Amino acid sequence: MQVSFATEPAPGRPNEDFVGAGADWAVVLDGATAPAGVDSGCVHDVRWLVHRLGAELGRLLLLEPAVALADLLERAIALVRAAHGSSCDLENPDSPSSTVTLLRASEKAVDYLVLCDSPLVVEVGGAVRVVLDGRASRLPERTISGVSAARNRPGGFWVASTDPRAAHEALHGSFDRAAVGRVALLSDGASRFVERFHLGTWSDLLDLLEKAGPGELIRRVRAAESVDPGRGKIHDDATAVLIGLSEGGMSG
Ligand SMILES: [Zn+2]
């Protein structure tokens, strides 16, 4: 398996995305910033959360290769929850949180997990499929209190924060490794190449990652942001990972 990636913060801000990879796995996390003036009930910042969660996921991916990804994420969230300590209110719905996108290849299969809005783009049997958990963008009430009330609740949306049950709400599954071509893991600061700026299709995005590299994808997003800021966040942390699986699964 070949992996290349780039991650860049929004200009002038700390990076609240996280990317990590090993010989047969990759993980992308996109930490959520609490709106200004909202009490998170937590003494830790979003970077603390994504670094802790990324470290636990990496450790478990290396040491527990037979554990299903949703079970592995459940354990990682429980470990991070315990690491908060008694100074934090773990029932506060605005506690720091993160999206999770995971990929793990074994000899016969490619397992994936997507929680919240960091998409996975995968070529399967020659077609491009996008695995995107869009529940956060379909909430009936987009106010601060409406989002807060829907977070990690049935009928709302799910993120990795203090509730390990969120892991089993993720989209997850497996592809036959022999059928999988290129794969991309993206935070929404990078997937806006397609979703906000329409600079190309998902297939074009894979071609760009392969030919010019993840850094070039982010450069083009930043250029589009400076021309057409549009609505919402002008810039966002952006992370892109490209994975190439050799034919026949011999590279693992
Ligand atoms: Zn905390």
Note down the domain range covering 64. Answer: 2-247
**Environment class of residue 211 by beta-carbon count within 10 Å: exposed (0-12), middle (13-18) or buried (19+)?**
exposed
pLDDT digits (tens, 9 = 90+) for 76-102: 999 999 999 999 999 999 999 999 999
Q: Any idea of the CA torsion for 220, 53, 158, 130, to the nearest 10 degrees?
A: 40
Q: How confident is the model at residue 249 (pLDDT cuts 50, 70, 90)?
A: very low
Rounded distance from Cα 77 to ligand 1 centre (Å): 13
Q: Residue 22: pLDDT above 50? A: yes
SS3 of 32, please?
Answer: strand
25-59 residues labelled b (16+ CB within 10 A) or e (exposed): bbbbbbbbbbeeeeebbbebbbebbbbbbbebbbe
DSSP state string for 208-233: HHHHH-HHHHHHHHHHHHHH---SS-
Ligand 1 centre and the CA of 46: distance in Å?
A: 9
Q: How many domains does the chain have?
A: 1
Instruction: Give this prediction's pTM.
Output: 0.94
Does residue 252 fall inside a structural domain?
A: no
Mean pLDDT of 37-59: 95
pLDDT at 140: 81
Is 46 within the bounds of a domain? yes
How confident is the model over 15-41, as a mean pLDDT? 93
Is 38:89 a contact under the CB 8 Å cutoff?
no
Residue 85 CA to ligand 1 center (angstroms) comes to 7
How far does residue 78's CA lie from ligand 1's centre (Å)? 13
In the reported structure, the alpha carbon of residue 161 is separated from the centroid of ligand 1 by a whole-number distance in angstroms of 10
- Please tell me the distance between residue 123's alpha carbon and the centre of ligand 1 in angstroms: 38
Provide the CATH number for the domain around residue 103.
Answer: 3.60.40.10
Are 80 and 50 within 8 A, CB to CB?
Answer: no
Rounded Cα gap, residues 79 and 23, in angstroms? 24
Over the chain, what is the mean pLDDT?
Answer: 93
pLDDT per residue as tens digits for the range 205-216: 999 999 999 999
Residue 171's DSSP bridge partners are 114
The values of phi and psi at residue 5, to 5°, are -150, 165
> How many angstroms does the Cα of residue 195 sit away from the middle of ligand 1?
33
Among candidate residues 34, 36, 66, the one with its CA nearest the CA of residue 47: 34
Instruction: Kindly indicate the confidence band of residue 250, based on its pLDDT and cuts at 50, 70 and 90.
Output: very low
